[in-house]
Each structure stands twice: as structure tokens, then as C-alpha cells.
């Protein structure tokens, strides 16, 4: 084998690392044995010993050749290590001078071989047996020295000296080879990861471009179809037009599914939370799907509980997508009978409720063994019975992922051949608690066929400019706004728009985003900064086919005054134009209350801006009810595992982290959100607030996001990041205090100043079962963790000046240690604020929590005590059996909401 062939073999992707290390180890072992032969010939001239060495070399070469030829590398490693550890080492020790030869050096060499070639329990067994073998050899040397063949002084020194250098060089070269192979594999892995990332980016770009390109012709189809519905046409034409509209919206839903799946795969899916009308959402769903049911001669029932709040807060687009996918499947797999949608509400408090959507069909049902695979992307269950039914296989996978993202759950009950019931529960905020009342589907459906269209307003003195590089889009907008009598100018490029705004004053500008030469974002900037321009203070609305949350955040950050997605309806256009036109040039021709209802959700979401929004991180461990009560938005930390990186609390939960870390070979590393994610988060807050105060995890904690948040805040003039110097619910206590100050009308600077004083009055400590989890995340040494565990000590972790330190140790049983910890906290109960107390825990049972609560109640009474499971990022550092008492000192001047 030439040098080049040897190199190709050792660095070939087709040869496993273990095989390469196996061949390398045998090569160096044979080399040492050959050197030993020469050494024996020179020093002792023992033919017997030379033959033993040569025989062993021949055996090892044979084992190597056969193992490689028959692809039995594992067996070869086992035989090789067994020969060297249990055969050669004892013989060399006894026959070559015992302690005064090279026997002890071979023990070290064999240990290296075992470490490199064997794994798991086999490796442990070999360690034990080799230790026993070495112990026996040393015992023979001590108790029965006459059994050891002694070398003369020259031979003993020669064997030991040559063996020392030969084995040291061999071990060094083996470790070097292993390191090179590791680095090579690491480079290949990084290269493959980069290729996968590039492929995902290309795929996402393709789906995004496809969505944009398809939305443009759909905009024309749906827009011009709406114009047909406005005309005085026959029942037959009306029904055809309604069918076209329904088919267009279903096509749009399919496009959204494909685009959203790519976002989920890349981890970029985000929700768009805003107030919405539950009645309007349900009307849209029913209007889209009753036609499909009618085509299959199915009964379509809808039952809406009248006590549902009229206006909720959530992502109605995603909820609609979830319900459409389930209903569409129900209709698709039902050949006769009915499909039903039931909507109920479980009231939690004045600000929150749990929406329950139940979809029932009398279709073919689902086999019990297929239900676990029901939400798998691109997989269709029971393909023998459903091969004739069209579909992408994406719908229910999208449903599951969206419901999980919204913090809800979806359950399935099905009897094969009898039908299925899907129950979707989604928590929502309440914006208007007034009940929606009776939902009359027939009345809603009748509206679809009304042809005597009446515009909501007229504004003959108003003038708007529409900028879009697609002539069809310009035509659609012009026709949809025709009856409002607004004067409409259209241009097909940003440059043409700038020429118009230099000489003409418009009341509103509708701007496309993606245009050649100059896009809509750049065009808006130039209009706002145009020297001598007449539209520098005019509202500009983005009218785009880019329907994702990232672009929406971009538009909010750039300061657009509205956001319309293609395909756009006449109703949406009229609402936006009415909202932005000066009231003195608008004459209402429709129902004034209807217009107010249509626009109020936008106004509540964007016009009624908060002076200061308070935000924090998931590691603040705030209960959902507290975050909702104080209106605190939370950005998740990330949890990095061997399998990937997941969002804290949404994509991975605490129980999942603890179960995952049961395997000690698995590593979990909590990390902060990226600067890009934080910028998007802050931009979203600024869409509804003038300022943001972000309460961050202590900057001195490992992998804190404080520094990253401060860097992200530099992109804005009105985002303030406060280092809480705390973590977990103590960080949450400071967020609550910030909300109280914001409600008092304090400025961001005043809030920060006050928080600097309050943070010293907040106390953070946790008692943990051991330091094992901190050692696995690299924050304490394994030796320290092992020592503390061996002493049955339960350390108390305390935050001092932002740094986590070990405060005390409690010895004995868990219960005794917990009792001592609780007693130490409440030994100075006179200065503890009795209004609120947080008990943040990891992996405690209900019985444990009740015991802790009973102990605390004996010491002191609180207005509110919250038990909160720690976030996955916190749990990864502490492990199960951890809890902390987080409190603040009294201050009579403070008054919490």
C-alpha cells in the first residue's frame, strides 16, 4: 500500500472511525512488539522470547486482516484488547522482571487501547478485569517474588527505558491520530450542517417567493370576482361567483399550509396576536366550506354558544387555518351524513378564556393504530381506503403545530367506519367580554348572495395614490374603491411615485413592497424625507403579498400606517381608507356602527398605544395569569440539546428536559434568544407601545441574554434593557414592579431608576438535591458535585450581586433539609412583604408542594402564593427536587395592582 493509498484509507468517508483506530492501534502495537524483539536479541538473546513476540505479531495481524475483511470490527477490537490485557500483560510482567521490566508500562498502554476501542459495559468489564489482573501480578511480585523471572541490572534498565519511550511515542501518536480524525469528522459535520442550512434557506425562499407569486393572480381573481358579486346578476351567476370566491380562499389556505410548514421546519414560525371578532372569523370559515359540503350533499351544522365573548385576543388567522384544515378533512372523508362545528367557551377570568372547538363528522373514521401518526407531515393514514382522496398530507400536521404554538391541545376520538370527533382547545385573551349572542348561520350565509352592494362611505374630495408594479393589482384596487368616489392615481414604480408626491398632495398612499429598482420600504423612506415633497406627513399603507410575521414586523418597524395582505377584499380596503382619511372629507353611506366595529380591532391594537410596555424572558418564571394580569409579554429563552435547539416552554417543556437528561450522556445548555429574535420581539412591542422596558436575566449568569438584549436595543431609540441581577420568579417580581410604575405614568428612565432601588430588596435562593445538573452544564466541576453528593449535602444556591453562589449546606434527609431552608428564610419574616410570594420548583409532586405550603403557612400568611414549575432553561441547571422561595422586602409606600 503506497503512502497515498494509506492516507486515502485513513481519511476515507467509507471507512468508520472505529475501524481506522483499530487498524492504527494494531499497527503501533506490532511496531512496539518488533522493537521489543530487537531489544531481546541485543540484551538477553532469548530465542523463546523472540518467538513469543513474533508469534503475537502474526496473531494480531491475522485478527486485523480478518476483522476488516469480514467487517467484524467490534469483534476484532474485543479479541485484540483481550489478548493484550489478559494474555500478554501478565506474561510480560512475570517473564520480564515484574516491577523492574516494562510490564507496568504495558498496563498503561492496554488501558489506552481499551478506552479507544471498546464502549459501554464491555469497556467497564475490561477495566475491572485488567485491574484484577494487575492487582494479581503485583500481589505475586510481593508475596511470591520467586515466581518472577528477574532480569540483570542492565537488562532491567534497558527494557524499562526502551519500553518507556516506545509506548509513550505510540500513545502520543494514537491520541494525535484520534484528534485528527475527530477534527476531520467535525469539519465534515459543520460542512453538512451549513449545506442543510443553505438548503433550508433556499427552500424557505422558494416557498416565500411561490406564495408571493401565487397571491398576485389570486388577488386579481378574488378582487374582480367581488366586483361581479356587487352587480345586479342572476341567482345562477351569483352562486357561481360565490363558488369562485370560496375556491379561491381554499386555495389561499393551501398555499399558507405549504409556506407555514417550511417556517415550522426552520423554526421561524411566529404568531400575530391582535384583537379579533369571533363572529366574523366563524362567518368566514362557514362561508368558505358550506359550498364543499353542499357539493357532496352533506349537512353542515354550526352551533355557537351565545356566551362567547364578542371580541377575543389571539391569532385569528392561525385559528381559522386550524379549523379550516380540520373541517376540510371532515368534509373530504365523509361521503354521507353530516359535518358539525360546535364552539364553546370556558371562562377563566375577565381577561382570559379557553375556546373549545369541536368538529364532528360521520365519515370513514380512523383506525386506532393510525391515530398516533395522524399529525405526521406528508403521511396519510389508512392509504388503502383513502388513496382516491386528494390532499397534500400537510393539513393535520399544521393543525397540531399551530395548536401547540398557541398553548392549546387537540384530541381525537374516532370509531373506524363510524366517524371522528376533533376537539381543539386554545387559550385566548378577552378584549370585549360582551356575549356574541345567537349566531345565525342562515343570515350570515344569505349575505353572500346579496347583490345590492352599498359602499361604507363616499369621499369625492379625497385623493389616494396606489403604487404597484403589477397592472392587475392596480386594476383590482381601482375597481374595489370605485363606488367610494375617491380619486385614485396609479403608478407602477417607486420612481414614478416620487415624481407624483413631489407635486401632488394625497390623503393616503397604498404601497406594494416588492418592486424592481426601488421597493416599497425604500420608497416610503424617500417620500418621508423628500425635499419639497407634498406627502411627507401622509399615511402610507403597505399592500403586499408577503403575509408572514417577519415582514409584518419589518413594516411595523419601518413605520407604515397600515398593513393589507393580498388578496385584499373591498371591505378591508374601505376600512383602512376610512380610518386614515380626514373626517371632514368623508360622508358615511353605510352603517356607522358597522364601520366602527370593523375598524375598532385595528384601533385597539395599534392606535391606542401604551406609553411603556414591560417585557421579560421565559426564565422569569411568571405564571400565565400574572403575565396576563399585568400585560407582560415574554420572549422565550432557547434550550440547546444533542438533537437541536428548542424554544423554552413552547417547543420543549420542563418535564421533557428532565426526562431527556436522565441519560447522563445527553447535554442540555440553556441559551438566550438571538439578537435577531430580540429585535423582532422589540419591533412587535413598538407596534403598540411608545417605549419598551425589558427586564433581563442577571448579566452575570451563564448564557444570560442581557448583553444580547442591550445590543438588540441599540437598533431602537426607545427600548430600555434593565439588568435585574436576578433570575426566575425574582426577575418576575421586578417585572411586576415595573408594570406598577408604568401604570402610574412613570417614564422609562424613572422606571429604571426606581428598579435600581427595588432590586436590592428582592431575594433569590434555591435548595437543590445536588450540583449534578450544574456540573453537566459546565458551571461547577464534576469533582465538586460528586464530593457534595457523597456527603449527603443539599446546597442552597443564592444570588448575590447578580452572581450565583453556594450559600449554605443542609445535611440529612430531603425533608429535614427543606425544613431548615424554610426556617432560615422566615427567621426574619418581619421584613418579608406578605402580598405575594413565589415558590418556583422543578419536578416536585403535588404532595411535595402541599407539604411546602403547609410549612410556609405555619410561618406566615400571604395574600397570594404562587407555585410555579421552573422554565426548562432553569430546570436544566437545577434538576428535579429543586425549589426556591423568592420574595421581596416590605415597603409600605408600594401598592400592587
Spatial distance between the Cα atoms of 77 and 115, rounded to a whole number of angstroms: 11
Helices (H) and strands (E) in the chain, counts: 31, 28
Describe the crossing of helices 748-758 and 728-743 by its angle, rounded to 10 degrees: 140
Give the model confidence (pLDDT) of 425-434 as tens digits: 999 999 888 8
In this predicted structure, the answer to whether residue 374 has a pLDDT above a threshold of 80 is no
Which has the closest alpha carbon to 235: 451, 453, 445? 451
In this predicted structure, the answer to whether residue 690 has a pLDDT above a threshold of 50 is yes
Spatial distance between the Cα atoms of 798 and 804, rounded to a whole number of angstroms: 6
Which has the closest alpha carbon to 98: 136, 138, 130, 154? 138
Contact 82, 59 (CB under 8 A): no
Which has the closest alpha carbon to 681: 363, 74, 271? 271
Q: What is the pLDDT of residue 865?
A: 92
Please list, in sequence order, all residues whose beta carbon lies within 8 angstroms of the beta carbon of residue 31, skipping any fewer than 6 positions away: 166, 170
* Mean pLDDT within 625-637: 89
Sign (positive/negative) of CA torsion 231, 235, 240, 244? positive
List 309's β-bridge partners, or say none: 435
Q: What is the pLDDT of residue 744?
A: 87
Q: What is the pLDDT of residue 452?
A: 59
Inter-CA distances, 361 with 346, 408, 412, Å: 23, 22, 12
**Phi, psi (rounded to 5 degrees) for 511:** -125, 125
Inter-CA distances, 156 with 4, 108, 160, Å: 40, 18, 6
The band of 386, judged by pLDDT with boundaries at 50, 70 and 90, is very low
Give the model confidence (pLDDT) of 225-265 as tens digits: 777 777 777 777 777 777 777 677 767 766 766 666 666 66
Helix (H, G, I), strand (E, B), or coil: what is residue 835? coil
- How far, in whole angstroms, is CA 138 from its chain's centroid? 57
Describe the crossing of helices 17-43 and 73-82 by its angle, rounded to 10 degrees: 30
Spatial distance between the Cα atoms of 686 and 713, rounded to a whole number of angstroms: 12
Q: What is the dihedral of CA 693, 695, 699, 701, to 10 degrees?
A: -160
Which has the closest alpha carbon to 575: 560, 564, 567, 566? 564
3-state helix, strand, coil in the chain (%, to 5): 55, 20, 25
List 355's β-bridge partners, or say none: 345, 426
In this predicted structure, the answer to whether residue 404 has a pLDDT above a threshold of 70 is yes
- E-strand ranges in 278-418 read 299-304, 309-314, 338-347, 352-361, 409-415
**Sheet of strand 562-565: strand arrangement:** 487-491, 463-467, 508-511, 540-544, 562-565
Q: What is the pLDDT of residue 244?
A: 77
Which has the closest alpha carbon to 649: 682, 616, 675? 616
Query: Rounded to the nearest 5 degrees, what angle is found at the Cα of 450, between the Cα atoms of 454 and 590?
Result: 25
Q: What is the pLDDT of residue 378?
A: 39
Spatial distance between the Cα atoms of 224 and 669, rounded to a whole number of angstroms: 54
Higher pLDDT, 49 or 601: 49
The band of 212, judged by pLDDT with boundaries at 50, 70 and 90, is low
Which has the closest alpha carbon to 96: 34, 53, 139? 53
Query: C-alpha cell of 683?
Result: 419591533
- E-strand ranges in 447-500 read 457-458, 463-467, 487-491
What predicted TM-score, i.e. pTM, was given to this entire model?
A: 0.45
Spatial distance between the Cα atoms of 869 and 852, rounded to a whole number of angstroms: 14
Spatial distance between the Cα atoms of 894 and 737, rounded to a whole number of angstroms: 9
Strands 689-696 and 803-811: unpaired
Please list, in sequence order, all residues whose beta carbon lies within 8 angstroms of the beta carbon of residue 640, skipping any fewer than 6 positions away: 668, 669, 670, 671
Query: C-alpha cell of 822?
Result: 424554610
Please list, in sequence order, all residues whose beta carbon lies within 8 angstroms of the beta carbon of residue 792, skipping any fewer than 6 positions away: 811, 812
Higher pLDDT, 894 or 658: 658
Spatial distance between the Cα atoms of 112 and 106, rounded to a whole number of angstroms: 10
Contact 430, 353 (CB under 8 A): yes
The band of 604, judged by pLDDT with boundaries at 50, 70 and 90, is very low
Give the model confidence (pLDDT) of 52-98 as tens digits: 889 999 999 999 999 999 999 999 999 999 998 888 888 888 887 88
Higher pLDDT, 269 or 473: 473
End-to-end, the C-alpha distance of the chain in Å comes to 81
Contact 353, 309 (CB under 8 A): yes
Give the model confidence (pLDDT) of 130-174 as tens digits: 899 899 999 998 898 888 888 778 877 887 888 888 888 888 888
175-184: which pairs have CB atoms within 8 A and are 24 or more residues apart? 177/10, 177/20, 177/21, 177/24, 178/21, 178/116, 181/10, 181/17, 181/20, 181/21, 184/11
Query: Rounded to the nearest 5 degrees, what angle is found at the Cα of 823, between the Cα atoms of 822 and 827?
Result: 125
The band of 440, judged by pLDDT with boundaries at 50, 70 and 90, is low
Question: In what helix (H) or strand (E) does residue 810 lie, and over which residues does it extend?
Answer: strand 803-811
Helix (H, G, I), strand (E, B), or coil: what is residue 241? helix
Give the model confidence (pLDDT) of 29-38 as tens digits: 999 888 888 8
Query: C-alpha cell of 756?
Result: 435600581
Q: What is the per-residue DSSP string for 547-593? A: -SHHHHHHHHHHT-SEEEESSPPHHHHHHHHHHHS-GGG-EE-S-HH
DSSP 372: G
Spatial distance between the Cα atoms of 722 and 753, rounded to a whole number of angstroms: 10
Exposed / middle / buried, residue 663 (Cβ in 10 Å: 0-12, 13-18, 19+): exposed
Give the model confidence (pLDDT) of 307-318 as tens digits: 899 899 998 888
Q: What is the pLDDT of residue 106?
A: 87
Q: What is the per-residue DSSP string for 599-658? A: HHHHIIIIIS-EEEEEEEEGGG---HHHHHHTT-EEE--EEEETTEEEEBTTTB-HHHHH
Q: How many CA atoms lie within 13 A of 582 on its CB side?
A: 11
Q: What is the pLDDT of residue 397?
A: 76
In this predicted structure, the answer to whether residue 282 has a pLDDT above a threshold of 70 is yes
Amino acid at each position: 500500500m503506497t503512502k497515498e493509498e494509506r492516507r486515502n484509507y485513513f481519511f476515507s468517508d467509507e471507512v468508520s472511525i472505529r475501524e481506522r483506530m483499530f487498524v492504527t492501534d494494531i499497527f503501533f502495537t506490532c511496531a512496539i512488539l518488533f522493537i521489543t524483539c530487537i531489544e531481546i536479541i541485543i540484551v538477553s538473546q532469548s530465542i523463546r522470547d523472540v518467538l513469543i513476540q513474533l508469534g503475537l505479531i502474526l496473531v494480531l495481524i491475522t485478527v486485523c486482516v480478518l476483522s476488516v475483511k469480514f467487517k467484524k470490527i467490534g469483534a476484532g477490537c474485543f479479541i485484540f484488547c483481550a489478548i493484550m490485557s489478559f494474555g500478554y500483560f501478565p506474561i510480560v510482567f512475570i517473564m520480564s522482571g515484574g516491577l523492574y521490566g516494562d510490564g507496568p508500562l504495558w498496563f498503561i498502554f492496554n488501558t489506552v487501547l481499551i478506552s479507544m476501542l471498546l464502549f459501554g459495559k464491555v469497556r467497564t468489564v475490561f477495566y475491572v478485569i485488567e485491574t484484577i489482573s494487575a492487582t494479581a501480578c503485583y500481589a505475586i511480585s510481593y508475596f511470591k517474588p520467586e515466581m518472577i523471572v528477574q532480569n540483570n541490572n542492565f537488562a532491567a534498565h534497558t527494557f524499562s527505558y526502551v519500553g518507556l519511550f516506545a509506548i509513550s511515542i505510540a500513545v502520543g501518536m494514537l491520541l494525535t491520530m484520534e484528534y485528527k480524525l475527530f477534527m476531520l469528522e467535525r469539519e465534515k459535520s459543520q460542512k453538512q450542517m451549513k449545506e442543510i442550512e443553505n438548503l433550508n434557506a433556499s427552500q424557505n425562499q422558494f416557498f416565500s417567493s411561490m406564495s408571493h407569486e401565487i397571491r398576485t393572480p389570486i388577488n386579481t381573481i378574488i378582487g374582480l370576482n367581488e366586483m361581479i358579486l356587487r352587480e345586479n346578476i342572476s341567482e345562477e351567476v351569483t352562486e357561481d361567483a360565490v363558488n369562485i370566491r370560496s375556491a379561491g380562499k381554499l386555495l389561499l389556505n393551501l398555499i399558507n399550509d405549504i409556506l407555514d410548514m417550511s417556517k415550522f421546519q426552520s423554526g421561524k414560525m411566529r404568531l400575530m396576536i391582535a384583537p379579533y371578532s369571533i363572529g366574523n372569523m366563524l362567518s368566514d370559515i362557514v362561508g368558505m366550506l358550506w359550498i364543499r359540503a353542499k357539493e357532496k350533499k352533506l349537512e353542515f351544522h354550526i352551533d355557537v354558544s351565545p356566551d362567547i365573548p364578542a371580541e377575543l385576543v389571539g391569532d385569528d388567522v392561525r385559528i381559522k387555518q386550524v379549523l379550516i384544515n380540520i373541517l376540510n378533512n371532515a368534509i373530504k372523508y365523509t361521503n354521507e351524513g353530516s359535518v358539525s362545528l360546535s364552539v364553546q367557551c370556558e371562562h377563566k377570568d375577565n381577561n382570559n378564556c379557553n375556546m373549545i372547538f369541536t368538529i364532528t363528522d360521520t365519515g370513514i373514521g380512523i383506525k386506532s393504530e393510525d391515530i398516533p401518526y395522524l399529525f405526521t407531515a406528508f403521511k396519510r393514514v389508512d392509504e388503502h381506503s383513502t388513496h382516491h382522496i386528494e390532499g397534500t398530507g400537510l393539513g393535520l400536521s399544521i393543525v397540531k403545530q399551530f395548536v401547540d404554538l398557541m398553548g392549546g391541545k387537540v384530541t381525537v376520538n374516532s370509531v373506524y367506519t363510524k366517524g371522528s370527533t376533533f376537539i381543539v382547545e386554545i387559550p385566548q385573551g378577552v378584549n370585549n367580554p360582551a356575549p356574541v349572542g345567537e349566531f345565525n348561520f342562515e343570515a350570515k350565509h344569505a349575505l353572500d348572495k346579496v347583490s345590492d352592494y352599498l359602499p361604507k362611505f363616499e369621499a369625492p374630495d379625497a385623493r389616494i395614490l396606489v403604487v404597484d408594479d403589477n397592472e392587475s393589482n392596480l386594476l383590482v384596487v381601482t375597481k374595489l374603491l370605485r363606488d367610494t368616489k375617491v380619486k385614485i392615481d396609479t403608478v407602477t414604480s417607486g420612481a414614478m411615485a416620487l415624481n407624483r408626491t413631489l407635486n401632488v398632495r394625497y390623503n393616503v398612499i397604498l404601497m406594494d413592497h416588492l418592486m424592481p429598482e426601488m421597493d416599497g420600504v425604500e420608497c416610503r423612506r424617500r417620500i418621508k424625507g423628500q425635499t419639497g415633497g407634498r406627502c411627507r406627513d401622509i399615511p402610507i399603507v403597505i399592500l403586499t403579498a408577503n403575509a408572514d410575521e417577519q415582514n409584518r414586523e419589518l413594516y411595523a418597524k419601518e413605520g407604515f400606517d397600515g398593513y393589507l395582505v393580498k388578496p385584499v377584499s373591498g371591505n378591508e380596503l374601505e376600512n383602512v381608507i376610512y380610518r386614515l382619511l380626514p373626517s371632514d372629507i368623508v360622508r358615511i353611506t353605510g352603517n356607522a356602527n358597522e364601520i366602527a366595529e370593523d375598524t375598532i380591532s385595528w384601533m385597539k391594537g395599534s392606535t391606542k398605544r401604551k406609553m411603556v410596555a414591560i417585557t421579560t424572558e421565559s426564565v422569569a418564571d411568571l405564571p400565565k395569569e400574572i403575565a396576563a394580569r399585568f400585560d407582560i409579554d415574554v420572549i422565550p429563552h432557547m434550550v440547546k440539546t444533542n438533537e437541536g435547539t428548542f424554544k423554552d416552554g413552547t417547543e420543549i417543556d420542563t418535564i421533557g428536559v428532565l426526562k431527556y437528561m436522565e441519560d447522563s450522556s445527553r447535554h442540555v445548555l440553556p441559551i438566550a434568544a438571538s439578537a435577531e429574535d430580540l429585535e423582532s420581539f422589540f419591533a412587535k412591542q413598538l407596534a403598540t407601545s411608545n417605549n419598551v422596558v425589558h427586564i433581563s436575566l442577571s448579566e452575570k449568569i451563564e448564557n444570560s441574554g442581557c448583553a444580547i438584549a442591550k445590543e438588540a436595543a441599540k437598533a431602537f431609540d426607545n427600548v430600555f434593557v434593565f439588568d435585574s441581577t436576578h433570575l426566575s420568579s425574582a426577575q418576575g417580581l421586578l417585572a411586576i414592579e415595573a408594570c406598577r410604575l408604568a401604570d402610574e405614568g412613570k417614564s422609562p428612565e424613572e422606571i429604571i431608576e426606581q428598579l435600581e432601588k427595588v432590586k436590592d430588596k428582592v431575594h433569590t435562593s434555591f435548595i437543590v438535591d445536588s450540583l449534578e445538573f450544574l456540573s453537566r452544564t459546565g458551571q461547577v466541576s464534576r469533582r465538586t458535585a460528586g464530593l457534595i453528593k457523597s456527603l449527603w449535602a443539599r446546597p442552597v444556591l443564592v444570588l448575590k450581586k447578580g452572581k450565583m453562589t453556594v450559600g449554605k449546606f443542609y445535611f440529612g434527609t430531603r425533608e429535614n433539609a427543606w425544613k431548615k431552608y424554610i426556617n432560615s428564610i422566615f427567621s426574619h419574616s418581619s421584613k418579608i412583604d406578605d402580598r405575594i410570594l413565589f415558590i418556583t420548583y422543578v419536578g416536585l409532586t403535588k404532595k411535595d408542594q402541599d407539604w411546602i405550603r403547609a410549612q410556609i403557612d405555619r410561618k406566615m400568611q400571604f395574600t397570594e402564593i404562587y407555585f410555579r414549575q421552573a422554565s426548562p432553561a432553569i430546570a436544566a441547571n437545577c434538576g428535579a427536587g429543586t425549589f426556591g422561595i423568592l420574595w421581596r422586602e416590605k415597603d409600605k409606600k408600594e401598592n400592587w395592582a
